[in-house]
Amino acid sequence: MSLNSEDPNYYAHIYNESDSANKKIRILDSTLREGEQHPGVSFSVKQRIQIAWMLDSFGVDQIEISPVVSPDHAEATRTIIRQGLRADILAHVRAIKSDVDVAISCGATWVATYMGISDIHLSAKLKITREQAKIRALEVVDYIKSHGLKARFTMEDASRTDPVFLVDMCREINRLGIERISIPDTVGIMRPTGMHNLVKMVRESIDVSKSSIDVHCHNDIGLALANALAGCDAGADQIHTTIDGLGERTGIPTLAETAVALMLIYKSSNDLRLHMLKDLSRTISQYTGVEVPASKPVVGDSAYKHKAGTHLAAILRNPSAYEILEPKTVGNRRKIVFGELAGKNGAAYLLSMLGLETSGHEAETLARGLKQLRMGDILELYLDEKLEKKILNDTAPKIN
Helix (H, G, I), strand (E, B) or coil at 117: coil
The residue among 48, 35, 11, 9 whose CA lies nearest residue 242 is 35
Q: Are 152 and 181 in contact (CB under 8 A)?
A: yes
Binding residues for ligand HCA, rule: CB under 6 A, are 34, 37, 112, 114, 154, 156, 182, 184, 186, 216, 218, 240, 248
Minimum Å gap between C-beta 159 and ligand HCA is 9
Residue 65, strand partner residues:
91
DSSP state of 393: I
Looking at the Cβ atoms of 17 and 179, the one nearer to ligand HCA is 179
Query: First vs last Cα of the chain: how many Å apart?
Result: 40
Looking at the Cβ atoms of 203 and 216, the one nearer to ligand HCA is 216
Q: What are the DSSP calls for 17-47, one per residue? A: --TTTTS--EEEE-TTTTGGGSTT----HHH
| Neighbouring C-beta atoms of residue 363, cutoff 10 Å | 23
Minimum Å gap between C-beta 138 and ligand HCA is 18
The residue among 1, 25, 12, 10 whose CA lies nearest residue 230 is 25
Looking at the Cβ atoms of 76 and 336, the one nearer to ligand HCA is 76
Minimum Å gap between C-beta 191 and ligand HCA is 17
The residues, ordered by sequence, that sit 6+ positions from 14 with a Cβ below 8 Å of its Cβ are: 3
Question: What would you measure as the largest C-alpha separation in the chain, in angstroms?
Answer: 82
Looking at the Cβ atoms of 163 and 369, the one nearer to ligand HCA is 163
Looking at the Cβ atoms of 34 and 244, the one nearer to ligand HCA is 34
Minimum Å gap between C-beta 327 and ligand HCA is 32
Looking at the Cβ atoms of 48 and 240, the one nearer to ligand HCA is 240
